[in-house]
């Protein structure tokens, strides 16, 4: 280093990079951030301005909780090594956070509800109805891989509004909305996010109740049975996708297909992503083809012009399973727009499924 270049004392350098002087002394002793020069008489440490970047990165890594062994790899190792270390640390922090959250939620559930607190909203619905609604929206909850990246998609949104109880779930490829008409309701519009696994456990309990009072509080809520037994749940604080914008933004329906739910499921179940459904004007049938299987013709009531739309069976089949009754109604705007999947005799349950690019198999199509 040129002797004419400015050197910074430990206090000035600490302010520049956001570390304390004591931390800098520690990192010097550890060999992670050495000063440019140490005065032999006074022992004072001096740093160069070119060390700013390393100092700031060191601070950020420590704020992220990386141990010094990993910090050294990121600072001095190659790019591939740094990425490996950072990804491993990210996974560790996620697991730690999940464990801590589960423990705290358990503690909160074990605490008695505060008697003076009044719910923001409440709705009384049939216990079996609530359990069925949870089962129906469940397939649209994100899988473990997606939840690791977007934890909020592992939740179900519960809304109380205008004498209705709504349950909403989405994994970005599906959107499920189930509306229950409340027998009685009170309070203003409110919502709460509940972990899907926790809600499934509550649904098992609700199935044994004739009626359940769903109460929503600011940080969670509870289900109250007819005998006064209370089952609390913990709310999640996160921004949930605006499902109303999605529903309001749907294009006008150009095609409607009514088909047996079990028949359509069987036709898609063993196929790979990209299997297609084809309809033609005036034909009382639909053809399912592609995706590694032979074409299958099924009876259907079809309206609208000719249509060919492809699906991922791993997404479509669970949506069909979540329906009720023997029939399913598909409302389709185009081969690329979200497809509305409804139980033909239950308009209060709606699932949106995203089409995919068609996979053509020369051997079977």
Q: Give domain 1-111's CATH number out of 3.40.250.10, 2.40.30.10, 3.40.50.1000, 1.10.1660.10.
A: 1.10.1660.10
Using CA atoms, how far residue 333 sits from 207, 281, 308, in Å, is 37, 15, 11
Please state whether beta strands 37-38 and 45-48 pair in parallel, antiparallel, or not at all (unpaired): antiparallel
Say whether pLDDT at 332 is over 70: yes
Averaged over 306-329, what is the pLDDT?
A: 90
For residue 360, the model assigns a pLDDT of 59
- In this prediction, residue 84 has a pLDDT band, given cuts at 50, 70 and 90, of very high
Say whether pLDDT at 346 is over 80: no
Say whether pLDDT at 364 is over 60: no
For residue 112, the model assigns a pLDDT of 66
For residue 187, the model assigns a pLDDT of 86
Report the C-alpha gap between 88 and 199 in whole angstroms: 31
DSSP for residue 148 = H
Full 3-state SS string of 170-203: ECCCEEEEEEEECCEEEECCEEEEEEHHHHHHHH
Report the C-alpha gap between 27 and 33 in whole angstroms: 5
- The whole-chain average pLDDT of the chain stands at 89
For residue 347, the model assigns a pLDDT of 58
- In this prediction, residue 1 has a pLDDT band, given cuts at 50, 70 and 90, of very low
For residue 354, the model assigns a pLDDT of 94
- Confirm if 177 and 241 have CB atoms less than 8 A apart: no
pLDDT tens readout for residues 194-242: 999 999 999 999 999 999 999 998 788 999 998 889 999 989 888 899 9
pLDDT tens readout for residues 64-79: 989 888 999 999 999 9
Residues with Cβ within 8 Å of 298's Cβ and at least 6 positions away in sequence, in order, are 259, 260, 263, 264, 267, 285, 286, 287, 288
Say whether pLDDT at 300 is over 80: yes
For residue 138, the model assigns a pLDDT of 93
Say whether pLDDT at 113 is over 80: no
- CATH 3.10.150.10 intervals, the chain: 121-244, 251-353
> Domain spanning 251-353: which superfamily?
DNA Polymerase III, subunit A, domain 2 (3.10.150.10)
Cβ neighbourhood burial of 96 (10 Å; 0-12, 13-18, 19+): exposed
pLDDT tens readout for residues 120-147: 999 999 999 999 999 999 999 999 888 8
Report the C-alpha gap between 348 and 133 in whole angstroms: 10
- CATH 1.10.1660.10 intervals, the chain: 1-111
Does the domain at 121-244 match CATH 3.20.20.70? Answer given as: no
pLDDT tens readout for residues 27-62: 998 889 999 999 999 999 999 999 999 999 999 999
């Amino acid at each position: 280093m040129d002797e004419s270049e400015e050197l910074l004392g430990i206090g000035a350098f600490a302010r520049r990079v956001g570390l304390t002087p004591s931390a800098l002394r520690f990192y010097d002793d550890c060999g992670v951030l050495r000063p440019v020069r140490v005065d032999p008489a006074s022992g004072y440490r001096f740093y160069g301005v070119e060390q700013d970047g390393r100092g700031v990165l060191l601070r950020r890594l420590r704020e992220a909780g990386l141990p010094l062994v990993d910090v050294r790899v990121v600072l001095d190792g190659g790019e591939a090594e740094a990425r490996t270390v950072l990804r491993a640390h990210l996974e560790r922090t996620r697991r730690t956070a999940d464990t801590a959250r589960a423990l705290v939620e358990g503690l909160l559930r074990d605490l008695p509800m505060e008697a003076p607190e009044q719910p923001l909203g409440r709705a009384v619905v049939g216990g079996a109805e609530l359990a069925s609604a949870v089962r129906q929206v469940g397939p649209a909850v994100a899988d473990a891989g997606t939840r690791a990246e977007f934890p909020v998609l592992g939740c179900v949104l519960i809304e109380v509004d205008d004498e209705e109880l709504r349950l909403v779930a989405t994994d970005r490829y599906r959107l499920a909305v189930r509306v229950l008409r409340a027998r009685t309701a009170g309070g203003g519009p409110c919502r709460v996010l509940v972990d899907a696994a926790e809600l499934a456990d509550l649904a098992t309990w609700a199935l044994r109740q004739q009626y359940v009072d769903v109460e929503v509080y600011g940080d969670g809520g509870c289900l109250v049975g007819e005998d006064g037994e209370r089952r609390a749940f913990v709310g999640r604080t996160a921004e949930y996708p605006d499902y109303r914008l999605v529903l309001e933004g749907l294009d006008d329906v150009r095609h409607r297909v009514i088909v047996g739910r079990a028949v359509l499921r069987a036709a898609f179940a063993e196929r790979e992503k990209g299997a297609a459904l084809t309809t033609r004007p005036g034909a009382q049938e639909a053809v399912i083809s592609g995706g590694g299987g032979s074409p299958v013709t099924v009876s259907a009531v079809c309206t609208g012009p000719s249509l060919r739309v492809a699906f991922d069976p791993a997404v479509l089949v669970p949506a069909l399973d979540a329906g009720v009754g023997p029939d399913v109604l598909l409302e389709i705007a185009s081969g690329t727009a979200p497809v509305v999947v409804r139980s033909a005799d239950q308009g209060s349950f709606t699932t949106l499924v995203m089409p995919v690019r068609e996979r053509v198999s020369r051997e079977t199509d």
